Amino acid sequence: MKFETKYRLILHKTYFDKGYALTKYFTYLLALFGLTTLDLNSTMTIAFFYAIACYWIGRWWFKYKWVSAAHEVDNRINPFVKEMRKSINGKV
């Protein structure tokens, strides 16, 4: 398998993973719906559309640079990054 193919597969996996992480709490509602109604067809249909929504939410997160904003928030809190930014700014 070519590297470009692997890259594209992992990129799509990352889109799904990010969308799933952002909407994780919806899975509890889905499980509750499935347990209370015991309707397998409806639950699986909702789960299928939820999986597609996870992919598109993750893709949107990357497309509109929300991932960069999230990294910057993490960097501003991280003490190591704060110290490195101070040392770099002091040398420049």
Question: For residue range 23-51, what is the model confidence (pLDDT) as tens digits?
Answer: 999 999 999 999 999 999 999 999 999 99
How far apart are alpha carbons 67 and 74 in whole angstroms?
A: 11
pTM of the full structure: 0.80
Calculate helix-pair angle for 3-22, 40-63, nearest 10 degrees.
110
How far apart are alpha carbons 18 and 65 in whole angstroms?
A: 13
Q: Tell me the residue length of the chain.
A: 92
How far apart are alpha carbons 42 and 49 in whole angstroms?
A: 11
pLDDT 10s digits, 16-28: 999 999 999 999 9
How far apart are alpha carbons 77 and 54 in whole angstroms?
A: 27
Split into its structural domains, the chain has a count of 1
Residue range(s) defining the domain that contains residue 84:
3-91
